């Protein structure tokens, strides 16, 4: 749980990058549309998103919380991989939320107490008329969950695969983030980053963050040579 505090400096002030408007859909237009509707209080009562790390699932979940919260709703985002060290009691009382986003469902698979806790949460939230968004690395049936009651409840709503962005869409996402920072990212610099550096969007965005700081400090525009010098130093 320390991580929650440690990431602080990185993410401040980037709200527009975490809302749903800042999500580059790529092949995930339906997943995005479903989540957006739910954030607005319409559409499905629950949805399950699965796909590899870096595909943007947590972005969708946090974006949904942000949007619903701005409409005055109470929401909770539960990154289970981080919360799993706390007790399953962290799931108590959340039926008071209008929207509950359960991230990293994988993290509690096979842990009976957590599985029962999550099962109870799903029942309570649905009974209270609340909405649920789940995210995991694979579909409900493949998670290795021991409680069949939970598996079937996870698949109650539509199940969407969230596919990682291809290079063209990654470039678009990178450019969009740069614009949100007021940073001009020439196409050749974007392509250079995608070719030469980690393909995981999150890592790419962190790179952008470093470049932003460096360009501000050096009062330089982003060019390939400048980027090279920053990232190789």
Residues 164-193 interacting with another protein (rule: CB under 8 A): none
Tokens 């199940």 found at: 159
Among 35, 60, 76, 136, binds another protein (CB under 8 A): 76
Give the binding range for another protein (CB under 8 A) out of 76-84, 196-204, 211-219, 220-228. 76-84
Nearer residue to another protein within complex by CB, 71 or 228: 71
- Show Cβ contacts of residue 104 under 8 Å, excluding neighbours closer than 6 positions: 79, 80, 81, 82, 135, 136
- The whole-angstrom separation of Cα 13 and Cα 29 is 26
Looking at residues 33 to 52 of the shown chain, list those that interact with another protein (rule: CB under 8 A).
Answer: 33-34, 40-45, 48
- The whole-angstrom separation of Cα 106 and Cα 117 is 14
Nearer residue to another protein within complex by CB, 186 or 206: 206
Per residue in 5-19, is it b (16+ CB within 10 Å) or e — as a string? eeeeeeeeeeeebbb
Nearest 5°: phi and psi at 165?
-75, 145
- The whole-angstrom separation of Cα 95 and Cα 122 is 9
Q: How would DSSP label each residue in 33-87?
A: HHHHHHHTT-S-SEEEEE--TTSSHHHHHHHHHHHHHHTT--EEEEEHHHHTTS-
Nearer residue to another protein within complex by CB, 72 or 182: 72
Looking at residues 111 to 130 of the shown chain, list those that interact with another protein (rule: CB under 8 A).
Answer: 116, 119-120, 123-124, 126-130
Looking at residues 138 to 167 of the shown chain, list those that interact with another protein (rule: CB under 8 A).
Answer: 139, 141-142, 148-149, 151-153, 155-161
Nearer residue to another protein within complex by CB, 66 or 224: 66
Considering the rule CB under 8 A, would residue 27 count as an interface residue with another protein?
no
Among 26, 55, 98, 114, binds another protein (CB under 8 A): 98
Give the binding range for another protein (CB under 8 A) out of 66-74, 170-178, 190-198, 212-220. 66-74
């Amino acid at each position: 749980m320390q991580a929650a505090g440690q990431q602080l400096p990185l993410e401040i002030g980037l709200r527009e990058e975490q809302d749903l408007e800042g999500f580059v859909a790529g092949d995930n237009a339906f997943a995005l549309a479903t989540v957006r509707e739910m954030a607005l209080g319409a559409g499905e009562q629950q949805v399950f998103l699965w796909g590899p790390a870096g595909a943007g699932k947590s972005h969708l979940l946090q974006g949904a919380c942000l949007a619903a919260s701005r409409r005055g709703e109470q929401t909770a985002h539960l990154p289970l991989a981080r919360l799993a060290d706390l007790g399953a009691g962290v799931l108590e009382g959340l039926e008071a939320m209008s929207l509950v986003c359960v991230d990293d469902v994988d993290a509690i698979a096979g842990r009976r107490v957590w599985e029962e806790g999550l099962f109870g949460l799903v029942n309570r939230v649905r009974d209270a008329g609340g909405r649920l968004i789940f995210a995991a690395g694979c579909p409900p049936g493949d998670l290795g969950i021991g409680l069949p009651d939970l598996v079937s409840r996870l698949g109650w709503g539509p199940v969407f695969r969230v596919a990682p962005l291809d290079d063209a869409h990654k470039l678009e996402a990178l450019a969009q983030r740069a614009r949100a920072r007021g940073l001009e990212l020439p196409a050749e610099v974007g392509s250079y980053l995608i070719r030469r550096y980690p393909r995981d969007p999150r890592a790419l965005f962190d790179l952008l963050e470093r470049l932003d700081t460096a360009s501000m400090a050096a009062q330089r525009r982003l060019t390939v040579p400048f980027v090279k010098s920053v990232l190789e130093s």
